[in-house]
Amino acid sequence: MRDIYSETEVYHTLDVVGKGTFGKVSKCWRGSDGELVAVKIMKMDVHRNRVIKNELKLISALSRNNLKTSHIVQFHEAFRDQTNHYLVFELLEKNLYQLQKENGFKPMAVRNIRTITCQMIKALAKLKELAIIHADLKPENIMVVDHCRHPFSIKLIDFGSASIFSEVHFVKEPYIQSR
């Protein structure tokens, strides 16, 4: 796998850990400190550039706040080259859908549902405080941090479809997110 270079850092690609509509996410080893990170890689084109610009705006708004206790993914840096945009985030283990699938979609214990729900409420409360609408809440965008060390500790990811309330409160369409 190839290395990815920002102006100040080198990321050694280890594995592709996810794919979505707008790109892929690679697990990378950061050269400066050896930390494992997630690098979201998105090809440049007219439609994707609008989505990338929106996500960067939302991540920037989030980054200006202390998110340590708000269960929202930690953002490190953004950069681009001639063909791709790169967003670097903390590496998380797996999404809630994958966790459910691994368990054969058996019902979760109420205490675990309560733990996840409380964390999601904290994340959504922080977004409300910042007047941000996520608009793509689903199990695939709720990541488990480290299931062995911190069971059912989660973080909210993927702000590509998110909006700032003041920019969409006038929309007359019946919905602004996927159904």
Q: Does residue 3 have an active-site annotation?
A: no
- Catalytic, out of 15, 33, 45, 136: 136
Nearest CA to 17 among 119, 105, 143, 139? Answer: 143
Which stretch of DSSP H or E encloses residue 102?
Answer: helix 96-102
What tokens were used for 121? 């409420």
Give the sheet arrangement for strand 36-43, strand by strand: 3-5, 10-19, 24-30, 36-43, 84-90, 75-80
Report the DSSP beta bridge partners of residue 9. none
68 burial level (CB within 10 Å; 0-12, 13-18, 19+): exposed
Active site positions, annotated:
136
